[in-house]
Structure 1
C-alpha cells in the first residue's frame, strides 16, 4: 500500500454520482425511497400480525437482550453440531453487518452531515481504512455464501433439506414444500450477486479513473477491487470502457441492493430481524417449565391462530428452515408423522394467510390451527411428540416448539380428542393418584421385601424425603431398583423416608399430555402433603418427578431442595460415604434420560459414578444434550406403538448394540428402563448386553450379599404399609 500522510490523503474520497445526469440521481433517490417505503410497510404488516396474537408480558428484557447479544456475537447456537456451517454463517453475518454499517456511513455523510452541517468525514485516512474494511467484509460475505451453496448442492445433507412432510400423503396439496428451496437459493444468489457486482463496480471505477493519481495510487486500499481492475486491464479494458462498465454495474448493484432491502420483511431475509427478537424473548426453561394454564379461562390451549402469543408468532417467523430440529426429532427419525420444523412452518403459513390482511377472519374455521386441512396441524402429529425437547434444545434461533405443541395438546384434551389409553390413564390418575391404576395401598408394596422399615416421612422427621414416583413404585422391574436404592441408603446410614400412601404422581407427564387442570391439582396436592412433612431435602430416582418438582412446583409455592439419585450417589461416592468392596469390570454405555440430561444438565454425575466403580464408559454417538429419546416421554409410554411402526426404543438399543463388547446399557430413569429393556428384547439383543440402573451397579459394587432371586420375590404384591399405617377398606 502507498505510504500516506494526513496532508496528501485528506482530499481522497469517492464521488458517488460522478458523471450522473440530474435525472439519474433523482431516479435513484426515488427508487431508494420507494424501497425503504416497501420495507417499512412490510415491517408494519409483521408488527400488526404479532399484535393480533395473544398478549404476553415480557420480563427481564435486559438480561435476555444481553444473552441474545452474546449468542449472536459468538454464533454459539449456530455452530452447535455444525461447526463448518456455523463458521460460514458467521462469515456471512459479519460481512453483511460491516457492509450494512459501511452503506449507512456513506448515507450519513453524503445525505445528512455534509449537506446539512457541512461536515464531510468520508475522506482521507478514514476513507482509505473504510475501503479496506469494506473489501474484507465483501470477501467474508461471498466466501460464506459460496460454502452455503456448496453445502446445499454438493453435500446436500439429509434429512435437513428434505421438505417432504411426514404428516402428509403425496396426494395432499401441501405434501411437498420444495418451493422453499427456491426461496433459499434466491436468497443466496441475490446476496452473492450484490457482493460480486460490488467488486466489479469497484474494479471498473479504478480502471475508469486509472489516470487520476488520487485514485490509482491508492488502489491497494481496496485490494479486491484493485485485483479486479488489473484483470480488466489485462484483457485490454480501456478507461473509457471502464467508465461505461462502471455506470452499468453501478445501477445493477444499486438496484439489487435496494430490492433486497425492500424484500426483507416478505422473504426469508426477515430472519435478520425476527431472529433477534426470538432470541431476546426466549424462555430460559422452555421445556422444563411449561406455561401456566389459566383454569378460570373459557378454554385452555391453542386451537386458533389468534390463541398463539405474539412471541409464538415471532418465533415461527424466525425459523430459517435449517432442519436441525427436523433431524433431531426422534419421532420423525422413526417414521412418525411429526417434524418440528413442519409444525412451525404450518403455523407460519397459517398466520401469514389469516393475520396479515387488513382484517382478521371472523369465521373460526378459518382460524383453526388443528385439523385435516391446509395449513393445519393434524392431531396425530401432535400426539407423536415425545416432549423430549431435542428440537427446542438444538434450535439456533430459540424457537420453542415443545410449549406450542403442548398448548395445542391442551386444546385436544379439552375437546376429548385423545387416544383411549391416554383417557384411561388420566382417569386412573384422577381416581387413584397414579398412572398405572393401582390402589394407594399398593404404592409402598415394594418395601415388603426389605429387612428393615423405611420411615414414614409424613409422620416423622427425616433428613431426606425420597419421592419415589409411579413407575419406581409399581413397575415390577423397577421395584428391584427401588429396593436397591433403599438398601444403599440404609447401609450408608442416611436418614430417609417416603410418603407411603400419601404420595401421588408428580404429574410431569400429565402436564405434557395436555391435562393442565389435573396437573395443577396433583401439584397442589403434593405440595400440601410436602408442606406437612419435616425434611431437609428431596431425592428421587425419577427424572420426570425431579424435573417438575424442581422447575414447575415453585410456580405453585413449592420450593424445595431436590436432587436426582444419580447426583446424590455420585456425591456420596466422592465423599467416601459409600463403601465399595469390588470393582466392576464392565464395558458400559449410558443413556441420558431427556428429563435428567437435556432438561436439567445432569450429564456428569451418572458418568462419574459408574467410572468410580471401575467400569469402562463408552459413549454412544448420540449422547448428552444430543441423546436420543427412549420414546416414553410426553405420555407416549401409555400409548402402544402401531405394530408395523419402527420403535424409538429399538432405534436407541441398536445404537448401543453397535458398541463392541458392551456389557451394560446403563440408565437412570424408570421409564427409560422400561422402554429400553423392552427394546432390548424386541430388537434381539437379549444375549448381547443387559440394561441396568446405576443404582444396581452401585449395590453390586458394595457387595451387600443380596440374592437376586430373593429380591425378585414380593416386589409386585403385598401391602407394604408404613409401620404406623391404619387399615384401609379392600380395594375395589
Structure 2
C-alpha cells in the first residue's frame, strides 16, 4: 500500500477553525501593510526626476542575478562578511521559495484544482534543503552579530565626521538599534522555526510517517532528541506547540509587514540598484538638461528616481567610507553619510502624502538631513566609493550634481573661483598665454608636426600640467624624444589645445566644461589623425568617456599602452635594464576610472625593475588628493594630505628606491609630499617615462641638444 502521501508536514492539525481564520486575517493584514509600504516607496521615487536607465532591461536583469548569485561585490576586500551574507542570502531565498511552495499547494492548487505534490520523496528532499538553508541563515546571522559586537570595525561606527558631538544627528544611534532589531528578529524566526520543527517531531513520535523520516530534517531531529533527553514528552510537546507556532507565525508576518519601512527593504532595493547601475557612473557625468532652470541638485526633488533608489539601497556597510581618501585624512566627508543624509531627507519630505513647500526641500545647509558645503568640497571624485559599493550606489555623480548648484550660487573657495575664471580666460589652469602652451618643444632637437596643418598618425593631447609645469615639462620632452626615436608620426594642437575639462566638470562648472569640450572637439575634428595619445589620465578619461556625448568620438589611449606596444614590436629598443626596487601608484583616472592597471606594470617589468605593490593598489589605489579640482583648493591647516598618507604607505616597503607614477598631477603631488613627509633621501618619485628614458640610448647629438 502506497503511504507516501502521509509523508508530509502537518500545518493546522488540532487548530480550531477560528484560529486558522484569525491567522489568515492577520496574514492578509500583514500583506496589506506591506503593499501600502511599497506604494509609498514607489510614490517617493516617482517624485524624483526622470532617468534614462531603462535600456537593455533583460541584460541588466541577467547581470544583476549573476552579481547577487555570486556575491562578487560583497566578498571583495571583506571575504568573511561577504561569505556570511552569502549564507544569509541563500538561506533566505531557499526558505522564501519553500514557504511559497507550501502556499502554492495549500492555498491555491489543492483547493482549486485538487493538485497535491508536497509529500513523499519531494517533501523529504524539500525538508532537507530547507533545514540546511535555515542552518546557513543562522550561522551567517551569528557571524554578523559577532562582527558588530566584538570586532569594533571603524566602518560600522555611524558617528558622523561632518557633525559635532551633541548635534542631533551626530551618532545616528537609531541605525544601530535598527541593525540589531533586524538581526535579532531574523535569527529568532530561524531558531523558532527549528524549535517548532523539533516540537512537532516529539509530538508525533508515535507516527512512523513522521518519526521514521526525521533525519530528513537533521537540525530539527537533533533538537528533538535533545528535547526528549531533557524530559519532553509527546503530550507536553503537543501542549507547547500552539504557543510556539503562533509566536513564530506572528514574528514572520510582522517581518514581512515591516519590509518596506525598515532596513529589510534592501533585499529589494539593492537588487534594483544593481540592475539599474550605470557602468560609467562617475566616469561619464550627466549633461544638464536644456529645460532645467538651475544647474545640479538644489532640492530633494531634483534627484532622479534612480538616485532615490540608490539612497534606499545603501546598507550602511561603510566600505565607501573606509575607501575614501578624504575620510582617511580627517576631512569632513563620509560618502555613506552623504547618502544617509539624503535618504533621511527624502523619507521625511517625499514619503508624506503632500509635498512640503520648495523652501523645505533644500538639501544644502546645516540642518538635520542637509549636506554641508564643506562636505561636498572635500570629495576628490576618485570613485573609490562608487567602485567598492556592493550595491552600486553612485555617490560621486550625486556629489557633483550638488556641487553644480554650489558653483552656480558662487559658494566655493575664492582660489577655486579664481582658477575657473583663469581657465575661462586663457584655456589653462596656469593662466599662461595660449601661445606658450608648446614652449617646451623649443628645447627639442627636432620639430614636432602641427596636426592642424598636416596629417599625422597619432595626435598627442598634452594637457595643462604636462605643458606648463616646469617639472612636468621635462617628462613631456622625454616622451617626445621617445616618440621621435620610435619613428611615430605624431603631432600637437599647439595653442589650439585647451584644458580638457575633466576636473572642471567634476568641480561642478558644467557651463565652462561644455565650452572647453566643444572647442577641443571642434579642433580635433578639423585635424587628420588615426588616434590620440595622452600622458594625462584626466584628459584621457573625459575625451574617452565624455566627449562622445558632445559629438566627439575619438580613439584614444594612455601613453603606457602605446609605449608597451612600441617596446614589444621593437620600435623602442631598450639598451639596458634597470635593477631598481620600485612601487607603482595607480592614478585614479587611469586605474579605477578606466581599468588601465596592467600596461604600466608590464612596462616596469620590461625595464627590469623589481615591482613591489603597496597594500592599496589597482582598484583599491589611494588617491593623491588632486582629483575633483582639489589641486586648485588649499587643504585645511592641520589635517594630513592624501599624498602624504600615500608616502607613509610607500615608506613601509623595505629597500624602496623609486615611487613610480604615470600622471602629471601625481608627479606634482607626490614630489611635494615626499619633501614634507620625512622620506626625502629614502626614495625618489619618478614618472614612468623617466625610467624608460634611462633605458634608451639616443643619438649623441640628440642627447646633448636636449640636456643643454
Common fold, TM-score beyond 0.5?
yes
Q: Does 1:63 align with 2:70?
A: no
Q: Does 1:23 align with 2:18?
A: yes
More displaced stretch, 166-175 vs 378-387: 166-175
Task: Tell me which of 214, 221, 228 is aligned to 1:226.
Answer: 221
- C-alpha distance in 1 between matches for 2:340 and 2:195: 38
- C-alpha distance in 2 between matches for 1:52 and 1:275: 20
- C-alpha distance in 2 between matches for 1:590 and 1:711: 27
The 1:608–1:660 alpha-carbon spacing in structure 2 relative to 1, beyond 3 Å, is: same
Q: In the alignment, which residue of structure 2 is the partner of 1:641?
A: 635
Q: In the alignment, which residue of structure 1 is the partner of 2:648?
A: 654
Q: In the alignment, which residue of structure 2 is the partner of 1:321?
A: 316
Q: In the alignment, which residue of structure 2 is the partner of 1:176?
A: 171
Task: Tell me which of 153, 156, 160 is aligned to 1:157.
Answer: 153
Q: Secondary structure at the match of 2:680?
A: coil
Question: Given that residues 131 and 221 in structure 1 are in contact (C-alpha distance below 8 angstroms), is that contact kept between their aligned partners in structure 2?
Answer: yes
Q: Does 1:304 align with 2:299?
A: yes
Q: Secondary structure at the match of 2:342?
A: helix
Q: In the alignment, which residue of structure 1 is the partner of 2:93?
A: 97
Question: Given that residues 295 and 517 in structure 1 are in contact (C-alpha distance below 8 angstroms), is that contact kept between their aligned partners in structure 2?
Answer: no
Q: In the alignment, which residue of structure 2 is the partner of 1:389?
A: 383
Deviation at 1:147, TM superposition (A): 1.0
The 1:706–1:398 alpha-carbon spacing in structure 2 relative to 1, beyond 3 Å, is: farther
Q: In the alignment, which residue of structure 1 is the partner of 2:465?
A: 471
Deviations 1:134-188 (A, max 9, x none): 1011011011111111111122222x11111111111321111132111111111
Q: In the alignment, which residue of structure 1 is the partner of 2:139?
A: 143
Q: In the alignment, which residue of structure 2 is the partner of 1:717?
A: none
The 1:694–1:23 alpha-carbon spacing in structure 2 relative to 1, beyond 3 Å, is: same
- C-alpha distance in 1 between matches for 2:458 and 2:209: 81
Q: In the alignment, which residue of structure 1 is the partner of 2:606?
A: 612
The 1:357–1:25 alpha-carbon spacing in structure 2 relative to 1, beyond 3 Å, is: same
Deviation at 1:11, TM superposition (A): 2.5
Deviation at 1:66, TM superposition (A): 1.3
Q: Secondary structure at the match of 1:121?
A: coil
Report the TM-score, using the length of structure 1 for normalisation: 0.95
Q: Which runs of 5+ in 2 are unaligned?
A: none
- C-alpha distance in 2 between matches for 1:575 and 1:424: 46
Q: In the alignment, which residue of structure 2 is the partner of 1:357?
A: 352
Question: Given that residues 667 and 692 in structure 1 are in contact (C-alpha distance below 8 angstroms), is that contact kept between their aligned partners in structure 2?
Answer: yes
Task: Tell me which of 477, 484, 490 is aligned to 2:484.
Answer: 490
Q: In the alignment, which residue of structure 2 is the partner of 1:129?
A: 125
Deviations 1:83-112 (A, max 9, x none): 111111111001000000101111111111
- C-alpha distance in 2 between matches for 1:305 and 1:710: 60
Q: In the alignment, which residue of structure 2 is the partner of 1:718?
A: none
The 1:650–1:709 alpha-carbon spacing in structure 2 relative to 1, beyond 3 Å, is: farther
Q: Does 1:418 align with 2:412?
A: yes
Deviations 1:385-411 (A, max 9, x none): 000000000000000000000000000
Q: In the alignment, which residue of structure 1 is the partner of 2:679?
A: 685
Cα RMSD, aligned residues only: 1.3
Deviation at 1:8, TM superposition (A): 3.6
The 1:405–1:621 alpha-carbon spacing in structure 2 relative to 1, beyond 3 Å, is: same
Question: Given that residues 10 and 125 in structure 1 are in contact (C-alpha distance below 8 angstroms), is that contact kept between their aligned partners in structure 2?
Answer: no
- C-alpha distance in 2 between matches for 1:257 and 1:537: 61
Q: Secondary structure at the match of 2:382?
A: coil
- C-alpha distance in 2 between matches for 1:528 and 1:554: 12
Deviation at 1:32, TM superposition (A): 0.6
Q: Does 1:77 align with 2:78?
A: no
Task: Tell me which of 320, 332, 339 is aligned to 2:334.
Answer: 339
Q: In the alignment, which residue of structure 1 is the partner of 2:393?
A: 399
Deviation at 1:707, TM superposition (A): 10
Q: What is the aligned residue count?
A: 706
Deviation at 1:10, TM superposition (A): 2.9
- C-alpha distance in 2 between matches for 1:594 and 1:512: 13
Question: Given that residues 582 and 701 in structure 1 are in contact (C-alpha distance below 8 angstroms), is that contact kept between their aligned partners in structure 2?
Answer: yes
Q: In the alignment, which residue of structure 2 is the partner of 1:567?
A: 561
Task: Tell me which of 77, 84, 88 is aligned to 1:88.
Answer: 84
Q: Secondary structure at the match of 1:7?
A: coil
Question: Given that residues 480 and 711 in structure 1 are in contact (C-alpha distance below 8 angstroms), is that contact kept between their aligned partners in structure 2?
Answer: no
Deviation at 1:127, TM superposition (A): 1.2
Q: In the alignment, which residue of structure 2 is the partner of 1:454?
A: 448
Q: In the alignment, which residue of structure 2 is the partner of 1:621?
A: 615
Task: Tell me which of 120, 126, 144 is aligned to 2:116.
Answer: 120
- C-alpha distance in 1 between matches for 2:472 and 2:246: 73
The 1:314–1:373 alpha-carbon spacing in structure 2 relative to 1, beyond 3 Å, is: same
- C-alpha distance in 1 between matches for 2:613 and 2:116: 62
Deviation at 1:711, TM superposition (A): 5.6
Question: Given that residues 301 and 409 in structure 1 are in contact (C-alpha distance below 8 angstroms), is that contact kept between their aligned partners in structure 2?
Answer: yes
Deviation at 1:23, TM superposition (A): 1.7
More displaced stretch, 266-275 vs 167-176: 167-176
Question: Given that residues 445 and 705 in structure 2 are in contact (C-alpha distance below 8 angstroms), is that contact kept between their aligned partners in structure 1?
Answer: no
More displaced stretch, 541-550 vs 424-433: 424-433
Deviation at 1:291, TM superposition (A): 0.8
Q: Secondary structure at the match of 1:666?
A: strand
Deviation at 1:7, TM superposition (A): 2.6
The 1:375–1:712 alpha-carbon spacing in structure 2 relative to 1, beyond 3 Å, is: farther
Q: Does 1:373 align with 2:367?
A: yes
Question: Given that residues 486 and 566 in structure 2 are in contact (C-alpha distance below 8 angstroms), is that contact kept between their aligned partners in structure 1?
Answer: no
Question: Given that residues 581 and 658 in structure 2 are in contact (C-alpha distance below 8 angstroms), is that contact kept between their aligned partners in structure 1?
Answer: yes
Q: In the alignment, which residue of structure 1 is the partner of 2:275?
A: 280
Q: Does 1:600 align with 2:599?
A: no
- Give the alignment of 1:495-534 within 5 angstroms: 495-534=489-528
- C-alpha distance in 2 between matches for 1:541 and 1:505: 14
The 1:706–1:678 alpha-carbon spacing in structure 2 relative to 1, beyond 3 Å, is: farther
The 1:17–1:521 alpha-carbon spacing in structure 2 relative to 1, beyond 3 Å, is: same
Q: Which runs of 5+ in 1 are unaligned?
A: 1-5, 714-732
Deviations 1:289-345 (A, max 9, x none): 011112553111001000000000000000000000010000001000000000000
Q: Secondary structure at the match of 2:685?
A: strand
Q: Does 1:271 align with 2:266?
A: yes
- C-alpha distance in 1 between matches for 2:483 and 2:90: 55
More displaced stretch, 377-386 vs 18-27: 18-27
Deviation at 1:706, TM superposition (A): 9.3
Deviations 1:340-378 (A, max 9, x none): 00000000000000000100012x221000111110000
Q: Does 1:207 align with 2:227?
A: no
Q: In the alignment, which residue of structure 2 is the partner of 1:54?
A: 49
Q: Does 1:109 align with 2:97?
A: no
More displaced stretch, 49-58 vs 540-549: 49-58
Report the TM-score, using the length of structure 2 for normalisation: 0.98
The 1:74–1:300 alpha-carbon spacing in structure 2 relative to 1, beyond 3 Å, is: same
